[in-house]
């Protein structure tokens, strides 16, 4: 036993001891068992072949091989008609001659109603062929119709397993999440759709994964998604607007309509308390072990529930509810009055696609989306604004803002916030905390002066900067100037000019040949790699308490060995292992043993 009740309730104790499993169809002649048997129709054969090769084989590390059938030679799983079957039954893979044999009542070898075995996806007959085949692979009934252990009655339904006798809601058209767990426990999980896959839904019970279509566009059914990796997307934009929807990306979660979710009730046949249980009528389940990252919602009212991954949701039109749960999620409500809950993690509410300016306030939890919608916000840390003149307001937490285009007004409120105004003449107010103005995405050199509160963003924009302590430059030749506070200035790539001004500042030129002025008070000059150029420090003062900080993790394996650092007081050259990475003013009084610290 596995110790997982969802698996153990389905294990018969038998399995095939090989990953190549043969199958055949009884072809006449003498049969070794006590049953009177006859061949199945060609239509049943086609259904079985499809089930084995297209439905079950993509789930598990098994190759199904059809072999010819005779009295003396036949497949491990063998299909036949027999009046001994009231409807259908099969033997487990026990090692006897009849192991894996599947018997179907000939009265149901037709396509006249849902019980016929010739029926396709969405019929009870098709589900029964899957059910009996899984018996032949070693699965049992999970409920009281079989031997223990049992599933709880509340879980013993076709939303979880095709092996149940509680035929609630519409018929399933492939193994459901508990079945897949059990099959993969027995035979291993197959790598399938391991790349970046987009699942495009026409209905909640029919989708294309780019290579084949699963489910149905007409017959309401239940099915599952097995996906072994990649960054994957569920696209529901084609769904009808006649219903609203619920998409749960968690393992075992259902992608279904709200009317179908818990839309079917049942009483377990052996439940003496006559308890009523509810399950989903139709839809698509997420198998266990599957992580889907992204969702494109429908044009209706959607509820989208995330998993532990970094999800990216776009609700589409309608009044949507987006719940990120764990992970660093990006949530876009789009039009409508949406409720957006980031859950845990560092979560983003995005208004990048709207058609006019937005007003977003994380402190009050209200956003006017610029399209007539009023969104309600919970547990969000990051705001992505629009291409228009936005007003973005943070809360007491640590927020990040991306203003986008337009002349934006962004107020961080409390917390240690990060600001990227984007294009336009933006007003950025850090508020309380240690706040960052970030120009990493600028397309030309920037000139940022925290002392006078102005940032020329390199894209014809003039930003007003208030209550900022940290500035990050672009990949070009920037000029960054601090104020009287303790500033942190990072130049980025390019040959930058950094001036800390008053205060005890931290200056990091990064790549390029940078010029650094610490200014007044004790300053730190940070170096992350010896190969990033030769920076010139103009005012290093040992007496004033200045230090060279070496990021040892990125500088090199031997970076903490002070013997590898040398300083030439005549030229000001500072070297590591013979390679110069800085030039200090010659009156600095610098000493390797006291003025280098490792971080």
Q: Per-residue DSSP letters for 528-560? A: S-TTS--EEES---TTTT-EEEE-HHHH-TTTT
Which distant-in-sequence residues (6+ apart) come within 8 Å of 152 by Cβ? none
Closest CA to 55 of 200, 274, 222, 198: 222
Amino acid 270: pLDDT: 59
Judge whether residue 71 has pLDDT over 90.
Answer: yes
Encoded tokens for 354: 């709207």
Long-range contact pairs involving 515-524 (C-beta distance under 8 Å, separation at least 24): 518/546, 519/482, 521/545, 522/546, 522/547, 523/547, 524/548, 524/549
Q: For 578, left (φ over 0), alpha (ψ -120 to 50), or beta?
A: left
Encoded tokens for 527: 């170096």
Amino acid 558: pLDDT: 75
pLDDT tens column, 483-496: 999 999 999 999 99
Which distant-in-sequence residues (6+ apart) come within 8 Å of 566 by Cβ? 574, 575, 578, 592
- Backbone φ, ψ for residue 253 (5° rounding): -70, 155
Please, are residues 21 and 96 in contact by the beta-carbon 8 Å criterion?
no
Please report, to the nearest 10 degrees, the dihedral formed by the alpha carbons of residues 575, 577, 581, 586 taken in order: 0
Please, are residues 459 and 467 in contact by the beta-carbon 8 Å criterion?
no
Please, are residues 439 and 455 in contact by the beta-carbon 8 Å criterion?
yes
- Give CA–CA dist 490/506, Å, rounded: 8
pLDDT tens column, 368-378: 999 999 999 99
Mean pLDDT of the chain: 96
Amino acid 272: pLDDT: 65
Amino acid 276: pLDDT: 86
What is the three-class DSSP state of 15?
A: coil
Please, are residues 492 and 485 in contact by the beta-carbon 8 Å criterion?
no
Matching residue, tokens 């509680």:
166
pLDDT tens column, 286-318: 999 999 999 999 999 999 999 999 999 999 999
Judge whether residue 115 has pLDDT over 70.
Answer: yes
- Give CA–CA dist 58/64, Å, rounded: 11
Segments of the chain assigned to CATH 3.40.390.10: 5-187
Which distant-in-sequence residues (6+ apart) come within 8 Å of 112 by Cβ? none
Q: How many angstroms separate the Cα of 214 from the Cα of each of 21, 42, 257, 532? A: 24, 22, 18, 53
pLDDT tens column, 231-277: 999 999 999 999 999 999 999 999 999 999 999 998 876 556 678 89
pLDDT tens column, 538-556: 999 999 999 999 998 888 7
Please, are residues 143 and 270 in contact by the beta-carbon 8 Å criterion?
yes
- Give CA–CA dist 298/498, Å, rounded: 50
Considering the segment(s) 5-187 as one domain, its CATH architecture is 3-Layer(aba) Sandwich (3.40)
Please, are residues 401 and 392 in contact by the beta-carbon 8 Å criterion?
yes
Say how many C-beta atoms besides its own lie within 10 A of residue 565's C-beta.
18
Residue 213 pairs in a beta bridge with 208
Please, are residues 199 and 325 in contact by the beta-carbon 8 Å criterion?
no
pLDDT tens column, 137-150: 999 999 877 899 99
Compute the average pLDDT of residues 26-53: 97
pLDDT tens column, 408-445: 999 999 999 999 999 999 999 999 999 999 999 999 99
Judge whether residue 181 has pLDDT over 60.
Answer: yes
Encoded tokens for 149: 């252990």
- Give CA–CA dist 468/454, Å, rounded: 11
Compute the average pLDDT of residues 109-128: 97
The Cα angle at residue 142 between residues 141 and 147, in degrees rounded to 5: 70
Rounded to the nearest angstrom, the gap between the alpha carbon of residue 116 and the centroid of all alpha carbons in its chain is 40
Compute the average pLDDT of residues 524-536: 96
Note the pTM of the prediction, 2 decimals.
Answer: 0.93
Residue by residue, DSSP assigns 24-54 as: EE--SS--SSSS-EEPPPHHHHHHHHHIIII
The Cα angle at residue 241 between residues 236 and 246, in degrees rounded to 5: 55
> What percentage of the chain has pLDDT greater than the value 70?
99
Residue by residue, DSSP assigns 180-249 as: HHHHHHHH-BPP-S-S--EEEEEETTEEE-SS-EEE-SSS--EEEE---SS--EEE-TTS-TTS-EEEE-
Encoded tokens for 319: 């009044």
């Amino acid at each position: 036993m596995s110790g997982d009740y969802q698996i153990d309730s389905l294990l018969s104790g038998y399995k095939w001891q090989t990953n190549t499993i043969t199958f055949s169809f009884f072809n006449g002649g003498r049969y070794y068992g006590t049953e009177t048997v006859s061949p199945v129709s060609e239509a049943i054969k086609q259904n079985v072949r499809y089930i084995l090769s297209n439905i079950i084989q993509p789930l598990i590390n098994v190759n199904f091989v059809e072999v010819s059938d005779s009295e003396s030679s036949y497949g491990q799983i063998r299909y036949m008609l027999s009046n001994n079957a009231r409807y259908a039954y099969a033997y487990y893979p026990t090692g006897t001659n009849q192991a894996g044999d599947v018997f179907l009542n000939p009265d149901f070898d037709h396509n006249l109603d849902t019980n016929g075995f010739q029926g396709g996806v969405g019929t009870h007959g098709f589900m029964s062929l899957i059910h009996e085949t899984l018996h032949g692979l070693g699965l049992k009934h999970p409920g009281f119709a079989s031997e223990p252990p049992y599933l709880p009655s509340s879980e013993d339904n076709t939303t979880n397993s095709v092996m149940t006798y509680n035929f609630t809601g519409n018929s399933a058209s492939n193994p459901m999440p508990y079945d897949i767990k059990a099959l993969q426990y027995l035979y291993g999980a197959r790598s399938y759709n391991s790349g970046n896959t987009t699942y495009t839904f026409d209905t909640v019970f029919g989708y294309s994964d780019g290579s084949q279509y699963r489910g149905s566009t007409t017959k309401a059914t239940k099915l599952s998604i097995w996906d072994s990796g990649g960054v994957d997307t569920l696209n529901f934009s084609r769904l009808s607007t006649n219903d609203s929807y619920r998409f749960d990306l968690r393992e075992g979660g259902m992608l279904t309509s709200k009317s179908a979710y818990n839309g079917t009730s049942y009483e377990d046949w052996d439940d003496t308390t006559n308890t009523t249980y509810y399950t989903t009528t139709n839809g698509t389940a997420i198998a266990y072990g599957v992580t889907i990252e992204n969702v494109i919602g429908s044009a209706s009212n959607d509820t989208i529930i995330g998993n532990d991954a970094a999800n990216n949701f776009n609700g589409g039109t309608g009044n949507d509810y987006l719940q990120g749960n764990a992970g660093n999620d990006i949530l876009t409500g789009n039009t409508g009055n949406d409720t957006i809950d980031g859950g845990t993690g560092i979560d983003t509410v995005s208004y990048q696609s709207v058609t006019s300016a937005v007003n977003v306030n994380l402190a009050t939890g209200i956003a006017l989306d610029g399209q007539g919608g009023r969104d309600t916000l919970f547990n969000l840390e990051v705001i992505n604004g629009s291409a228009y003149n936005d007003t973005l307001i943070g809360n007491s937490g640590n927020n990040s803002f991306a203003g986008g285009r337009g002349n934006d007004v962004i107020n961080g409120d409390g917390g240690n916030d990060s600001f990227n105004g984007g294009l336009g003449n933006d007003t950025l107010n850090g508020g309380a905390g240690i706040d960052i103005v970030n120009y990493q995405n600028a397309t030309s050199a920037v000139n940022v002066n925290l002392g006078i509160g102005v940032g020329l963003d390199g894209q014809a924009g003039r930003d007003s900067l208030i209550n900022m302590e940290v500035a990050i430059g672009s990949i070009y030749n920037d000029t960054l100037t601090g104020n009287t506070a303790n500033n942190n200035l990072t130049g980025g790539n390019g040959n930058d000019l950094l001036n800390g001004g008053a205060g005890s500042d931290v200056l990091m030129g990064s790549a390029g040949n940078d010029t650094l002025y610490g200014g007044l008070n004790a300053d730190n000059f940070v170096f992350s790699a010896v190969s990033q150029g030769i920076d010139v420090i103009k005012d290093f003062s040992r007496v004033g308490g200045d230090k060279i900080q070496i990021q040892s993790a990125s500088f090199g394996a031997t970076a903490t060995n002070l013997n590898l650092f040398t300083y030439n007081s005549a030229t000001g050259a500072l070297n590591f292992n013979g390679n110069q990475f800085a030039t200090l003013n010659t009156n600095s009084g610098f000493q390797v043993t006291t003025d280098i610290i490792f971080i």
